[in-house]
Amino acid sequence: MKRRSFVASAAALAAAACTPGSAIAPAVPAVRLLRREVSDFAADPARVAALRRAVAAMQAIADPTDDRSWTYWHYSHWMPNGMTPPPAMASVWNQCRHGRPYFYAWHRGFLAYFERMLQQMSGDPTLALPYWDYYAHPDIPAIFAAPTLGDGSANPLFWAARAQQTVTGLVYAAFDPAIVTFADGNPDGETFESIAEENPHGEVHDAIGGDMGAVPTAARDPLFWVHHCNVDRLWSAWLSAGGGRRMPSQGDPYYAQASFAYDVAGTWRASVARMADTDALGYTWSDLALPVAPPSQLPPEPLARVRGAAFTGANAVSLDSGGATVHVPLGTPVAAGATIDLVLTDVRLAAAGANGGFAFNVFVNLPAAATPRTKESTYYVDSFGSFEISIEQVMGMTPVTLTFSLQRPLALQGGTFSALDISFVAYGNPGAGPLVTIGSVTVA
């Protein structure tokens, strides 16, 4: 999904930001924190008890303007549909950066201050958020999955509004050695931030569904926080992998946004310039290995999962769990490497898809006999589901249009194209019936 212009957004944000000299980083904890994978974290009953104690205490505070409350942090990410921040809270609520520059930077500061609040509410200054490595462990972590604890009391980490228990459809495109730029001024650029925001980040939201499947409700679910902790870790892991991977250089327009504030007084402020260094923020990770793509020997997916229902041209398309392929004739042949976009207009969630729990990975000219590795390296375009649709809705786009760049996969395929086959491969199992309807599928 295309991101909005970096340069324009940066300029607008800079006008509202404080000066660089006034930006202060989150207070570094007295003890350097180690963020562990949640399965390792769960092996320590005292840490699990501290996390549950903090979450329960925050959930018990009813006033959403109280920064100790669970709802304060939910609303800081985004408020439920139809709600707008009161004037006193406008500077800190509805602030998430989805589909815009600083997706990673804003969320890193958000997590850092939320983590400080967990420490305060638990009484444990060493408590660190665990991360959920869904590439290695695709099922919802056990400490988040059970509604009650061993003594019969409610589990504050459980959330009933989830559609699925397992993450599917993850790709490795963001970790390709050719992706060495974190962010740049081109909203269509092949950067780590733009690719990883869609998959794995958006794919996990889509796969779990329920409240996690939409921007306005995602942060209600305690699972949101361990998911985003892993998103944060993947940024560190990407940089740690080397191979030319880099942040924007000093003086780049990326740093025009001086900082983000997470409290009304503006004392909880995170500088964009410092967000790349977790050591300076007082925490590190138990593992900084990037996910590794499956071997090419894996068998191809069944033909039905690749092709699905057949459609032609700009006619309306209905997507169900079988996926679909749309044949798009081109009025003028297009050479590999040309700037060309896939445009999906009037994208809507159908009744069966309203609760999420699914995603569609989009491919161009996908052959039937494609292994997972070749699918990604040559034919993968992007991913979308309920979460990506909700991003456009909260940004005011009605009806929703999703636009994806086809330039990279067509350049890799080579040749000249007089028609394109766009395949929507479904993941998840939300049930029978249409999940998404699309008014038209065109190439421009």
DSSP string, 379-407: IEEEEESHHHHHHHHHTT-SSEEEEEE-H
> For residue range 53-66, what is the model confidence (pLDDT) as tens digits?
999 999 999 999 99
CA 194-230-207 angle, to 5 degrees, is 75
Name beta bridge partners: 359. Answer: 427
As to burial, measured by CB atoms within 10 angstroms (0-12 exposed, 13-18 middle, 19+ buried), residue 288 is: middle
DSSP 85-139: --GGGTTTSS---TTSTTHHHHHHHHHHHHHHHHHHHHT-TT----B--TTT--B
Question: How high is the pLDDT of residue 360?
Answer: 94
pLDDT tens digits for range 144-188: 999 999 999 999 999 999 999 999 999 999 999 999 999 987 766
Q: Assess whether pLDDT exceeds 60 at residue 14.
A: no
What is the 8-class DSSP label of residue 201?
I
Q: The whole model's pTM is what?
A: 0.92
| pLDDT tens string 230-242 | 999 999 999 999 9
DSSP 233-284: HHHHHHHHT-TT-BPPPTT-GGGGS-EEE-STTS-SEEEGGGTT-HHHHTEE
What SS3 state is found at 353? Answer: helix
State whether residue 70 is helix, strand or coil.
helix
Domains of the chain: 6-285 (1.10.1280.10), 303-443 (2.60.120)
Average pLDDT for residues 425-434, to the nearest whole number? 85
Q: How far is CA 275 from CA 78, 247, 383, in A?
A: 21, 10, 27
Q: CB-based contacts of 415: which residues, under 8 Å, 6+ apart?
A: 335, 336
Which residues fall within 8 angstroms of residue 301, CB to CB, at 6 or more apart? Answer: 370, 372, 425
